[in-house]
């Protein structure tokens, strides 16, 4: 069985500060990892994904994440945040198999203050 | 390319009433998913279709929830009768051919309030 733990339910930061949103996963097989962002009253939008290859993955809006297999982590980072980055962020894992099932974490609310 | 469409966007019903949600996936996407997102939690998969067949419905409360995907395109999710704990956002997602099956594209969701 696969599971995802997002260690922080809320992360408040000031504008232009760096941010890291933490994600740890549990799976007995190779995984594919995703970060999604959800703005208020909207669906989920894919930020970035790790399928294979380089462990440092770059996504949209200046976000990046690093896959660390030994620590089973996939933390999301941005060097300088904007007010518009305020949203809920979800980490998700997909262990492949025949149905590509996604398991989501509970989410981290990032609030960027002026 | 048009995204995943869902309707209605909002619905308020009383407990024990029935409700239906509609989803139209991205054109050509064979796989369609319905998720339930309760406030403060991540989305939970309810049911997954591959074309018009069910791949996974292990977390669908089958005594009150049903879903269909006739003709392998759009889909309907129904709740009958609704309970207070069904208040949530219902998200539809779709994914494409084999090479892109890991990427799921989400619709805007339907926010259901059961009173």
What whole-number distance in Å separates Cα of residue A26 and Cα of residue A95? 10
- Residue B97: name the closest of B45, B27, B44, B41 by CA: B27
Burial class from Cβ neighbours inside 10 Å (0-12, 13-18, 19+) for residue A66 reads middle
Judge: A46–B101 Cβ closer than 8 Å, yes or no: no
What whole-number distance in Å separates Cα of residue B36 and Cα of residue A82? 30
For the segment B51-75, the average pLDDT, to the nearest whole number, is: 92
pLDDT (tens digit, 9 = 90+) per residue, B64-76?
999 999 888 999 9
C-beta of residue B48 within 8 angstroms of C-beta of residue B23: no
pLDDT of B52: 85
User: Which chain B positions have a beta carbon within 8 Å of A106's beta carbon?
Assistant: 40-42
User: Which chain B positions have a beta carbon within 8 Å of A35's beta carbon?
Assistant: none
B38's CB contacts (< 8 A; 6+ apart) are B44, B87, B88
pLDDT of A95: 73
For the segment B47-75, the average pLDDT, to the nearest whole number, is: 92
Judge: A42–B43 Cβ closer than 8 Å, yes or no: no
């Amino acid at each position: 069985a696969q599971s995802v733990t997002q260690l922080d339910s809320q992360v408040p930061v000031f504008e232009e500060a760096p941010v890291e949103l933490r994600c740890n996963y549990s799976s007995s097989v190779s995984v594919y990892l995703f970060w999604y962002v959800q703005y208020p009253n909207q669906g989920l939008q894919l930020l970035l994904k790790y399928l294979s290859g380089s462990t440092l993955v770059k996504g949209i809006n200046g976000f990046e994440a690093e896959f660390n297999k030994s620590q089973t982590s996939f933390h999301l980072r941005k060097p300088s945040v904007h007010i518009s980055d305020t949203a809920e962020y979800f980490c998700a894992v997909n262990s492949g198999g025949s149905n590509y099932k996604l398991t989501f974490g509970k989410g981290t609310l990032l609030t960027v203050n002026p | 390319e048009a995204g995943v469409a869902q309707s209605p966007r909002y619905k308020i019903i009383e407990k024990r009433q029935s409700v239906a949600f509609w989803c139209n996936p991205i054109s050509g996407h064979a796989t369609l998913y319905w998720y339930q997102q309760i406030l403060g939690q991540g989305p939970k998969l309810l049911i997954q279709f591959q074309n018009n067949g069910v791949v996974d419905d292990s977390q669908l409360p089958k005594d009150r929830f049903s879903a269909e995907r006739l003709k392998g395109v759009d889909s309907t999710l129904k709740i009958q009768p609704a309970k207070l704990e069904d208040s949530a956002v219902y998200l539809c997602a779709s994914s494409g051919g084999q090479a892109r099956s890991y990427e799921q594209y989400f619709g805007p969701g339907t926010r259901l309030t059961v009173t």
